[in-house]
């Protein structure tokens, strides 16, 4: 492999990869209980199976009436109504209103037969046990939610590829949809490479470091709804790496390789991606700091991402590339935004134009209740730079930096 690859902006590189993947879920479809489907991705569009509300509902406590009987009512000339009973919650009416008749109505309950409006209790006065005065007219439909006003039968309510939120669970169950077709969670193989990397349970010898990237990426994959498959560690031996990567890819829907940090180690990773399947590497190098030495590939239909070895770069690339790819495998074209928070930048961030920068920042309560974003400077190999940070500030490629005092969005990893 001695091909020449252009360094691409991360967004463009991601589009290049995702553009080669099918729109529909790459993983199998399964059936999930709606009540337990939080965070799962819908495999099919959902249409309303009925209209809601299913009956005209009172939206106020008061009296259901025929609106025309209230016309002209005022404080000086109230309309008199005879009470003919109440419609209890959760039941249909057992009466029908004649002229000048009213029935007690509760918020969320049904109206009496013939009634077409509800008079708020605050706009009435009790005359005796069976009689009330109404001092304001109501229009037909007033204080009543009409059938289908929330959702109409047949209406599309959620598209395929949608990530299910708490309110979606509520909406689906309101329609009686107790089970939904969702994408299986994709299996994401994660392989850490490098002679210097040891398992976190091992006390490192001279020149050795504990594996970090397997676990940070696994956390990011799990947060996106994927199933991290920890493939373990391999040395810098090319054949060993290739065998492990091939086996890992075979049992996964996607493969993430955490490369060694030296230039030669990175070069070997791109060779591996080329050998794993067609077309192999699509992008080698991102216009991104940290995270330039990343590889995006597609091997016989499965995404393969090569991450830089250094832990900060690995997390940034994983956030920008692995995360949306996991969602796409589930058929989700527009992943939920990473959590963001607005803050006022406390120090200038200089940056080279032509490259997107992600700078770790710490949020500090400033004056007037504003939050300030303080850059956490540190060599990009230092994981505690990110542990000390509350998020990242993005410096766009066309900006030479961001000045202190500007409002920035601080995004989680």
User: Which residues in 212-251 contact a copy of itself (CB under 8 A)?
Assistant: 212-213, 215-220, 222-223, 236
- Cβ neighbours of residue 359 under 8 Å, at least 6 residues apart? 349, 375, 376, 392, 393, 395
- Using CB under 8 A as the binding rule, the residues of this chain from 348 to 367 that contact a copy of itself are none
Report strand pairing: 124-128 vs 131-134.
antiparallel
Nearest residue (CB) to a copy of itself, 31 versus 250: 31
Contact range with a copy of itself by CB under 8 A, out of 63-71, 209-217, 270-278, 283-291: 209-217
Return d(Cα 398, Cα 9) in angstroms, integer.
11
Position 311 contacts a copy of itself (CB under 8 A): yes
In this structure, what is the dihedral angle of CA atoms 57, 62, 64, 69, given to the nearest 10 degrees?
-140
DSSP, collapsed to helix, strand or coil, labels residue 31 as strand
Binding residue count for a copy of itself, defined by CB under 8 A? 96
Nearest residue (CB) to a copy of itself, 55 versus 403: 55
- Using CB under 8 A as the binding rule, the residues of this chain from 51 to 70 that contact a copy of itself are 52-55, 57, 59, 61
The first and second tokens of residue 182, run together, are 């969702």
- Using CB under 8 A as the binding rule, the residues of this chain from 380 to 409 that contact a copy of itself are 381-387, 389, 409
Contact range with a copy of itself by CB under 8 A, out of 2-10, 90-98, 239-247, 347-355: 90-98
Q: Which residue has the tokens 């077409």?
A: 116
Nearest residue (CB) to a copy of itself, 298 versus 315: 315
- Using CB under 8 A as the binding rule, the residues of this chain from 161 to 200 that contact a copy of itself are 165-171, 173-176, 178, 194-198, 200
Burial class (CB in 10 A: 0-12, 13-18, 19+), 145: middle
- Using CB under 8 A as the binding rule, the residues of this chain from 96 to 155 that contact a copy of itself are 106-110, 145, 149-151
Burial class (CB in 10 A: 0-12, 13-18, 19+), 264: exposed
- Residue 318: DSSP 8-state: I
Nearest residue (CB) to a copy of itself, 254 versus 265: 265
As a whole number of Å, the CA-based R_g of the chain is 31
């Amino acid at each position: 492999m001695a091909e020449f690859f252009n360094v691409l902006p991360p967004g463009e590189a991601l589009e290049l990869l995702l553009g080669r993947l099918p729109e529909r879920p790459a993983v199998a479809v399964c059936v999930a209980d709606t009540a337990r489907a939080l965070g799962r991705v819908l495999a099919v569009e959902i249409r309303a199976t009925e209209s809601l509300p299913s009956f005209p509902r009172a939206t106020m406590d008061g009296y259901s009436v025929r609106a025309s009987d209230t016309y002209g009512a005022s404080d000086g000339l109230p309309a008199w109504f005879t009470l003919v009973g109440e419609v209890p919650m959760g039941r249909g009416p057992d009466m029908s209103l004649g002229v000048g008749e009213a029935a007690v109505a509760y918020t969320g309950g049904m109206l009496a037969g013939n009634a077409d409006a509800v008079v708020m209790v605050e706009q009435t006065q009790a005359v005796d046990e069976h009689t009330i005065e109404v001092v304001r007219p109501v229009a037909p439909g007033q204080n009543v939610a009409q059938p289908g006003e929330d959702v109409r039968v047949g209406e599309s309510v959620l598209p395929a590829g949608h990530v299910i939120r708490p309110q979606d669970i509520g909406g689906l169950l309101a329609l009686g949809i107790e089970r939904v077709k969702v994408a299986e969670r994709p299996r994401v193989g994660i392989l850490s490479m490098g002679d210097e990397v040891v398992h976190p349970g091992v006390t490192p010898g001279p020149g050795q470091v504990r594996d970090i990237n397997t676990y940070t990426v696994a956390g990011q994959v799990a947060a996106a709804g994927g199933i991290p498959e920890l493939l373990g560690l391999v040395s810098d031996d090319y054949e060993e790496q290739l065998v492990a990567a091939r086996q890992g890819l075979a049992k996964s829907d996607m493969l993430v390789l955490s490369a060694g940090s030296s230039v030669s180690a990175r070069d070997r990773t791109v060779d591996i991606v080329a050998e794993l399947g067609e077309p192999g590497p699509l992008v080698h190098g991102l216009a991104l700091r940290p995270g330039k030495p990343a590889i995006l590939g597609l091997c016989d239909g499965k995404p393969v991402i090569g991450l830089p070895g250094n832990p900060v770069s690995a997390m940034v690339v994983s956030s920008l590339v692995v995360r949306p790819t996991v969602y796409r495998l589930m058929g989700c074209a527009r992943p939920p935004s990473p959590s963001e928070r607005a803050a006022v930048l406390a120090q200038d961030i200089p940056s080279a134009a032509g490259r997107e920068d992600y700078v770790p920042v710490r949020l500090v309560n400033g004056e007037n209740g504003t939050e300030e974003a303080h850059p956490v400077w540190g060599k990009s190999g230092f994981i505690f730079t990110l542990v000390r940070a509350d998020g990242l500030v993005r410096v766009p490629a066309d900006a030479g930096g961001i000045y202190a005092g500007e409002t920035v969005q601080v995004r989680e990893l």
